[in-house]
Amino acid sequence: MKLLAKLMAVTTAVGLGSSAYAADMTLKFGHVGNPGSLFEASVNNFAECVNGSMGGKVEVQTFGSSQLGKDKELLQKLKLGQVDFALPSSVMSSVSDIFGVFEMPYIIRDRDHMRRVQDAMMDKFQDAATAKGYYIVGLAENGFRHITNNTRPINVPADLEGIKLRTPNGVWRVKMFQQYGANPTPMAFSDVFTALQTGVMDGQENPYAQIASAKFQEVQKYLSITGHVYTPAYILASEKHFKKLPEYVQSGLQDCAIQTQAFTYEKAAGLETELLAVIKDAGVEVNEADKDAFVEASKPIYEAFAAEVEGGQELIDAVLGLAGGS
């Protein structure tokens, strides 16, 4: 009985559900999201779906807060078979240039637009992932990003002049903020709070769900609502390891990924209102940025992407062409 109790305690600790027996197959899902983040909610939803629908044959274990590694480490561990799933977002632009299209400012208007892009263009993104040894099981999101800092409110791009701004590891995000006049520095998400607290960084940019769950409102004075980039998140596996799974397992995982995307979009929309209030209540000064000014200042980024990435202009045109009336 002591052994059983111990096993059940371990199971509870890693969020595996209440099963008192071992599944035929255990799969590890690592991500960088903190408790209370959209990443955590999305990954837990995916795990609950798999664990509840596979008849005890497959069990997904979840490990958040960079327990199994930061984004780039998780990408490497996927290929090594040390992790079965990860949830990268902006870092995918370092895997293949094609994912950099989502780094173009204001290219995605809303979630309905993203759904149309997914429906029409997913094969392109899947081919780009598999060419690098990965497989996109499904999509979630990181959301619409906004700027926080300790220097001044950001109303127009010129207000970013000289601000030391943390960005994710993605070449186009760095180029974008350089174009705006900031001093951007890529940094792992798990290191950002301390960098802001100590003044190593003046600010950062993230969706409300990441800002609030990481408690950046405790070490930031200003939040400027820019919505400058919408970043999908990718339920990502190693192609080699995923394709070795039995077909019924692959199918079940993909079905749960579809359900998780619907959950994530609904959850994210709710959090945008709820968490903005949390940030305001912490004493952060909030302002609406001049988005037209940011859109105008973003034109050189589009031109650079079109010039530097093979098929870049066609990608941009395809995504923009799916905006519809949104």
pLDDT tens digits along 180-195: 999 999 999 999 999 9
Q: Which of 129, 142, 127, 141 is nearest to 238 (CA)?
A: 129
* Dist. CA 247–CA 278, nearest whole Å: 44
Order of all β-strands in the sheet with 134-144: 58-63, 25-30, 85-86, 230-238, 134-144
CATH top-level class of 146-229+277-321: alpha beta
Instruction: Give the relative orientation of helices 247-281 and 111-131 as an angle to the nearest 10 degrees.
Output: 130
Mean pLDDT of the chain: 93
| E strand or H helix at 302 | helix 299-308
Tell me: domain 22-141+231-275, CATH 3.40.190.10, correct? Answer: no
Query: What is the three-class DSSP state of 146?
Result: strand
Cβ atoms of 216 and 204 within 8 Å: the answer is yes
**pTM > 0.75:** yes
User: In the chain, what's the furthest Cα-to-Cα distance?
Assistant: 67
pLDDT tens string 178-231: 999 999 999 999 999 999 999 999 999 999 999 999 999 999 999 999 999 999
Residue span(s) of the chain under CATH 3.40.190.170 come to: 22-141+231-275, 146-229+277-321
Specify burial of residue 231 (Cβ count, 10 A radius: 0-12, 13-18, 19+). buried
